[in-house]
Structure 1
Amino acid sequence: MKNSKLISGVEPIIALVDMDPGMIEIFSAADFGGRKVIHLKSGDELISTWTKQGLDIVMVIAQGEVLSANGVTLAEELLNRGLRGFSFTMVCHTLNKDIRKLALDAGIADVFLIPFDIKQVETRINFLIANWKVLQRKHKDDITHPYRIPLIKRIFDIFFAGLALLCLSPLLLVIYLWIRLESKGPAFYYSPRVGTGYKIFKFYKFRSMYVNADKRLKDLQHLNQYNTQQDGKKETQEFVLCDECRQAGTSCQFPMYADKLRWCEKDYMGRKKTKSGAAFFKLKDDPRITRAGKFIRNTSIDELPQLWNVIIGDMSIVGNRPLPLYEAEKLTTDKYALRFMAPAGITGLWQVEKRGKGEMSEEERLMLDNMYARNHSFINDIKLILRTIPALFQKENV
């Protein structure tokens, strides 16, 4: 393949994104009707090269999981940048009918499970490129509109969040200084979270853990409240860099994030094929938490930066909690996906009913999320807000 700097903008191009060397070789040797095949290391490099050189990219093929940075997030980012006239496909290691449906609903043209027959993929990709305009028109006719926050709820959210930020600004300043003085690192952080309709966004919080919290995760897996197996024993999992990441350097080439925790997605997906694990990770009396962090968690002050998420429309004041990618990826069956058909919120039914009242199973939490999704309304949201204040001062450190 030629270097991307020498690419002509007039020839149709198939862009491979963040692929293994073996995958690059397979797709480069495939018959795509004379179309040029290029490889770009990341979604950012794809966008930069595409926009600067005015390329005629007719197909993007990304490697990764549907809910990873190379999946729905990248597909939406390309459209948000005004890039049109292309189809987006993926190759991944994990796929079922529910994940495939999520991908198709998000505008991804197709998903191929590794390993695959390259001849079948050739046929499918050539068909998509040749007929994309017709298929796209049909998709627009059939698409269902995603959930949108009702106008009265949106007005309330902006008013409530704006007023709260204004009134709480002195407290926010004090917490900011306390966090910075107690331990090194930023006072705020964000992590990718999955909200309404499986939309991924940046989720803001005050930092409540020491900066090396991710290094201590592997030593604390046995304390996970949600990770109890049927025989009563607790499962311990250690997430480390896979061999391919080690060869590439010291950083992970397939990262997954949850708050300040980070591990290799490829290693996680491989382990998940042979081991079952809880969708949620939670510790009682977590030793990774700072003194300031323990206070702001017990009083839910660590959640206050999410008022900014409400202002910009990622979340609502009341709704189901948005989840880290690795948790949301496990909740795609009809039984659990209902929770994502409601607003993502700062507080909700789960916090009011269960938080601080003792241990709770993963199933109970999901049932409460689904219950809210079925019955949510503006009046019920007001009632939940009034019940939230006593729930803020919970009895246990979780």
Structure 2
Amino acid sequence: MVPAPGRADGTQLELHDLGGFLGLVYRQHKPHPLQLAAKYGIDKLVAGVALLAFLPAILAIALAIKLGSAGPAFYSQIRVGQDGKPIRVWKFRTMVLDAEQRLQEYLAANPEAMAEWKTYFKLKNDPRIIPGVGSFLRKSSLDELPQLFNVLNGTMSLVGPRPFPAYHLEQFPPAFQRLRNSARPGITGYWQISARSDGDLRVQEALDTYYIRNWSLWLDLHIMASTPYVMLASKGAY
């Protein structure tokens, strides 16, 4: 049996003698339960140690946000988690309090920005960002540090597809939505170390599909090891 074009990711193709004919046997990749248990254990261990190590930085960032903008230091949003279940994702607040109103007004007045938003669901020149501290946190991705709490409560993993809001996920084909919902979302992932915000919906789908179908502990370790460099380079982050 030969897989359809574009469906061979995460599979094993083996040559077999099929009654005198040479055939390809197509096997779908399925993670071993012990590997999944190891991933879960690594998540808990690393998230706990990281929270302790970054606690002074978390307190300093929270204070900087409070000094730079009125309102809370932390922000949460309901996003789509594993099995399509809604989860509350935590971040440092990098936007002004009336962010949604500013976004709608800006998009209505700037057709080019509207086209950029529909392609990436992000803006390079975002009018909602808190000047100074907000821009720094977005470029460095340090705004996502509070998601270590999501890892500890089991709603997220260290590595996996980013948890998207429902309006973002709905832009993808139903088959990909189902595939994406099969994995626990992560703080970092294959898309983040490859394209970050420079990747449009097509790139996001391709990279997330590759990760989910080819998942292994080694791939997770590679992504985790590559993440600090990507954060320092700030490429594709805004």
Report the TM-score, using the length of structure 2 for normalisation.
0.78
CA distance in 2, matches of 1:373, 1:397: 23
Which has the higher Rg, Structure 1 or Structure 2? 1
SS state of the match for residue 203, structure 1? strand
Partner of 2:127: 287
In the TM superposition, 1:144-155 aligns within 5 A as: 150-155=36-41
Partner of 1:333: 174
Q: For the Cα contact (< 8 Å) 1:225–1:282, is it kept in 2?
A: no
CA distance in 2, matches of 1:335, 1:325: 14
Q: For the Cα contact (< 8 Å) 2:103–2:127, is it kept in 1?
A: no
CA distance in 2, matches of 1:371, 1:220: 35
CA distance in 2, matches of 1:313, 1:377: 19
SS state of the match for residue 91, structure 2? strand
Partner of 1:202: 88
Match of 2:79 among 184, 193, 198: 193
CA distance in 2, matches of 1:310, 1:332: 28
CA distance in 2, matches of 1:165, 1:197: 27
Asked whether 1:390 is paired with 2:229, we answer: yes
CA distance in 2, matches of 1:185, 1:165: 23
In the TM superposition, 1:1-398 aligns within 5 A as: 150-221=36-107, 222=111, 223-224=113-114, 226-227=116-117, 280-290=120-130, 291-331=132-172, 333-355=174-196, 359-393=198-232, 394-395=234-235, 398=238
Cα deviation digits, residues 48-104 of structure 1 (max 9, x gap):
xxxxxxxxxxxxxxxxxxxxxxxxxxxxxxxxxxxxxxxxxxxxxxxxxxxxxxxxx
Shift of the alpha carbon at 1:225? 5.7
Give the share of equivalent positions with the same residue, in percent: 40
Partner of 1:80: none
Structure holding more helix per residue: 2
SS state of the match for residue 220, structure 1? helix
- Label 1:378 to 1:388 Cα distance change in 2 as closer, same or farther (>3 A): same
What letter is aligned with 1:284?
K
CA distance in 1, matches of 2:76, 2:57: 20
Q: For the Cα contact (< 8 Å) 2:79–2:88, is it kept in 1?
A: yes
Q: For the Cα contact (< 8 Å) 2:84–2:181, is it kept in 1?
A: yes
Cα deviation digits, residues 90-130 of structure 1 (max 9, x gap):
xxxxxxxxxxxxxxxxxxxxxxxxxxxxxxxxxxxxxxxxx
Shift of the alpha carbon at 1:310? 0.1
Q: For the Cα contact (< 8 Å) 1:336–1:370, is it kept in 2?
A: no
What letter is aligned with 1:156?
I
CA distance in 2, matches of 1:193, 1:226: 21
Aligned CA RMSD, in angstroms, stands at 1.9
**Equivalent residue pairs, number:** 199
Shift of the alpha carbon at 1:288? 1.5
Report the TM-score, using the length of structure 1 for normalisation.
0.47
Unaligned runs of 5+ in 1: 1-147, 228-276
Runs (4+) of structure 1 exceeding 2 A deviation are 219-222, 224-227, 328-332
Shift of the alpha carbon at 1:201? 0.7
Relative contact order, higher structure (CA 8 A, sep 6+):
2
SS state of the match for residue 208, structure 2? helix
Shift of the alpha carbon at 1:333? 1.4
Q: For the Cα contact (< 8 Å) 1:225–1:284, is it kept in 2?
A: no
CA distance in 1, matches of 2:64, 2:115: 29
